[in-house]
Structure 1
């Protein structure tokens, strides 16, 4: 697609547009608008967007990244929770990149279960920091056609999502992301390219879809084990999972059967090991809601 010169938004245009709309960025919605065209194009290049590729963007805001994706020829659907911004962005696109293949959906991304048009194969977004991880995991779950993801998040969140077992920041987001994809930190983004300037550092985290672990346990069952394992990080797995298995002794038996040291802690395990533990829980007769049935006392897990 041929773009108009100066199609992307600059600092003055961002402020003028926000002022005209009466938009004041709020911490509640985690709004920080990118105003640097060079940064936008760098993100788009890193995402590897191809002409005609169906891409979903969450939280397009005033349209900085939206225009960059469309400039690269993406077929784009944007999910925007703010009705004022959702109402404006189509007009912005039509004015600056006429003929672009673009749709906007007014919705909370956590509520979206389907999208118009062809299923998206990529997610590229500057995610609101306060809901970045839930949105990322929700989109990966609900849209299995997503092959690649590149999202801007708070730098420490990027580190958590991409962390490997044994890392100090490895935790629930790391394991759950690993269920869906291989993740890595792409590059840092200066605070100075945002309006307003955030008080935290930002980074891009990239994910590439892969098959989940081969397991008889469901994703929900595996995630229940993950949540329990990290609920109290200092506890051994034997203690942390005692609620799910009905007792510490039952948890120890299951852990040993799964090939996991009961004295280990959750941050040392990969997603495949959590899947093996979930398989043992299923074999012991646990319901997905966490209620254990069998000889051990029943308790409700996390």
Structure 2
């Protein structure tokens, strides 16, 4: 979309000052102040004109304007009421005529989104990034792909393979919905305030077919939570409370073709789903 102006450091600080907004750790607010980084994210997400995009935590509108510049139709979900109320004004000034819908809501409570967005592109609040991602993947089936910026530690967990040191519950649960990979790194210096952690871009693509039913997902995730709550224990022990006891867990695991002495970090999402199916 032509005629769009992106926000820079000066405009962002002026806007925040006028609104009386001081970025808070509680809401995980670190605003992107570099236009090149905004365009890097939009490019990594393969956003094209006409795409329906949902953005979580738009803040002052840096990434929102980048998405609109690419011609996307954006639904922005913002929990901070001041920011939600100001965003349409900012967009009207910087991107006249752009297609924007703002929802002043908590992304963790959203149950449906207007327009059936197909892409998620967001600088996610670091303190709730995984819960928000999993919630949206569960409740917005129209989402097929996207790129999110998260704390590096979280991003590597989401994209981890079984057997790696950072493989855990988020890795397995994310894999239920699709494939995930690290799509780039982001300098701390492009944020205001500068965070004390590194950031990465994580790209995802949803599986073409649903991995399982909601009931199957619920049973599988319960097993995943139990396995990684005590990740140093063998599965026959860690899954005992969920499957009855250690003896019952061993029997289920053997029927599922999984060694009872294995640990959760060695299992794929398919393995966990198979255990859930056998135990049903």
TM-score interval, normalised by the smaller of the two chains? over 0.9
TM-score with structure 2 length normalisation? Answer: 0.98
Distance, in Å, in 2 between the alignment partners of 1:213 and 1:193 is 37
Please tell me whether the aligned partners of residues 47 and 149 of structure 1 are also in contact (alpha carbons under 8 angstroms): yes
Instruction: Tell whether 2:52 aligns with 1:70.
Output: no
Equivalent residue, structure 1, for 2:156: 159
Of 204, 207, 214, the residue aligned with 2:204 is 207
User: 1:281: Cα distance to partner?
Assistant: 1.4
Equivalent residue, structure 1, for 2:229: 231
Equivalent residue, structure 2, for 1:144: 141
Equivalent residue, structure 2, for 1:294: none
DSSP-derived class of the 1:110 partner: coil
Please tell me whether the aligned partners of residues 215 and 275 of structure 1 are also in contact (alpha carbons under 8 angstroms): no
Distance, in Å, in 2 between the alignment partners of 1:213 and 1:272 is 9
Of 166, 171, 175, the residue aligned with 1:169 is 166
Of 94, 97, 102, the residue aligned with 2:92 is 94
Aligned residues: 279
Equivalent residue, structure 1, for 2:38: 40
- Structure 2 residues not aligned, in runs of 5+: none
- Structure 1 residues not aligned, in runs of 5+: 283-302
Equivalent residue, structure 2, for 1:272: 270
RMSD: 1.1
Instruction: Tell whether 2:261 aligns with 1:255.
Output: no
Distance, in Å, in 2 between the alignment partners of 1:19 and 1:166 is 47
| 1:209-259 deviations in Å (ceiling 9; x for gaps) | 003446896110110111111111110000001111111111001001000
TM-score with structure 1 length normalisation? Answer: 0.91
Spell out the pairing of 1:107-146 with structure 2 (5 A cutoff): 107-116=105-114, 118-146=115-143
Structure 1 residues 214 and 42: CA distance shift in structure 2, 3 A: same
- Stretch of structure 1 that moved more, 20-29 or 240-249: 240-249
DSSP-derived class of the 1:13 partner: helix
User: 1:180: Cα distance to partner?
Assistant: 0.1
User: 1:3: Cα distance to partner?
Assistant: 2.2
Which 4+ residue blocks in structure 1 deviate beyond 4 angstroms?
214-217
**Structure with greater Cα Rg:** 1
DSSP-derived class of the 2:6 partner: coil
